[in-house]
Amino acid sequence: MKQLSLLAFAAMMACSPAKPPQQQRLIALDPGHFHASLVMQRMYPGIDSVAQVLAPEGPEVEQYLAVVDRYNQRAEQPTHWQTEVYKGPDYLQRLAAQPAGSIVVIAGNNRLKSSYIRSSVRAGMHVLSDKPMAIDPAGFDSLKAAFAEAEEKKVQLYDMMTERYEILSILQKELTHMPAVFGELEKGSPDNPAVIRESVHHFKKNVAGKLLVRPVWYMDVTQQGEGIVDVTTHMVDLIQWTCFPEQVLDYTKDIVIDSARRWPTAMTMQQFADITGQPAAQSDSVLQVYANGAFSYRLRGVNARVSVTWAYEGGGDTHYALTRGTKANVLLENGELYVHTQTPDSAALQPLLQKYPGLALERIDKGWRITVPDSYKKGHEASFAKVMEAFLQYVKEGKQPAWEVPNTLAKYYTTTEALKLARNGQ
């Protein structure tokens, strides 16, 4: 057979159409929470516009598909997602048949999340999971095993920590690491913690101008998880991220849970029906939803307190955050950011103002209020695309920062151990 010369081979290849690079495909696995659709607000380079949806039959997957369609139909910056949908009882078996290296997005029933994560990782797929990734000590053990399997399979397993991308979170972190302003982080005590994070939420709320329909299981803490292991995930993450940035935490040595408690929110059957869209049961019974919790703990000797409260309805969600330093306290309250100090010096804050043009200082009795322009406030929903972009970069690089996985384990150890202590009545 006549051999092809190198010159002829090169010429032939130059005339051949270039094969487009293979794109990774997104897989929405049983998308039961609206966070699953929020990552679909935009398109991503290198990600196929055809997304796989694998789920059981039910209203939750229909709501997910409706939201994705709204993104495609919107007037400004419409997306162009196409969905290949399979709805059936064997959706997990269908998952195993998908190509390794696919990206699985998990946001839904938290009781099922551990098995979904393990199934995806075992199939050689990357996983972006909504919080909480674990809702009890058994879930924490499963998460540890999942991270070990992810390392073995060389895939990325990542948590949707959207709060890190909120401007007020970023500024609190920046201020805490300005020694001329903040000094050093105090240690505090159980009665007077150096770090406090509190939040108030509501079951009945509007998202994107529409009443949010909650899944029926959302009020079942065996499926959703108690409040002490749900929203607190964000607060514990922010404490770690703010106080010990890019430092590897060891949950076996660095964390001690001192006290914890839990209490329910009462909900009538009519209220339950209003937020789930289900017919109201003819019953005068009242649901007791253990959505509230608080705990005190020490992180590398720093005393911290975390609490979450859920009311049925009210105003918007509220967040309170206090971090105490030797020179100043950084406080977030009612959406306003303050630096409380007895020796206010605007010159010390100039580096922050230069880094974030548009910030302004307002002198108050206790120090300064930092005014943040609306242009920096992109909103909670916009943060999901930021998380996705970071995750896709880790997938591309084949690794995460060295502190991410151990600190994720530290976070879930904290919340699940607090739950265990609270359930023991201590």
**Which amino acid, 130?**
D
pLDDT for the residue numbered 41:
95
Rg of the chain taking only CA atoms, in angstroms: 24
pTM: 0.91
Give Cα 206 to chain centroid, integer Å: 19
Whether residue 210 is predicted with pLDDT greater than 90 in this model: the reply is no
Contact 115, 108 (CB under 8 A): no
| Sign of the torsion formed by the C-alpha atoms of 230, 232, 238 and 244 | negative
pLDDT per residue over 44-95, tens digit each? 999 999 999 999 999 999 999 999 999 999 999 999 999 999 999 999 999 9
pLDDT for the residue numbered 7:
42
CA distance 145 to 218: 26
CA distance 52 to 281: 36
Tell me how many helices (H) and strands (E) the chain has. Answer: 14, 17
Whether residue 6 is predicted with pLDDT greater than 80 in this model: the reply is no
**What's the chain's average pLDDT?**
92
pLDDT per residue over 254-293, tens digit each? 999 999 999 999 999 999 999 998 887 777 889 999 999 9
Contact 158, 400 (CB under 8 A): yes
pLDDT for the residue numbered 90:
95
Whether residue 358 is predicted with pLDDT greater than 60 in this model: the reply is yes
CA distance 309 to 312: 10
Of the candidates 63, 52, 62, the residue with the CA atom closest to the CA atom of residue 23: 52
pLDDT per residue over 299-327, tens digit each? 999 999 999 999 999 877 889 999 999 99
- Residue 405, H or E segment: helix 404-423
pLDDT for the residue numbered 15:
41
Contact 91, 55 (CB under 8 A): yes
CA distance 84 to 95: 13
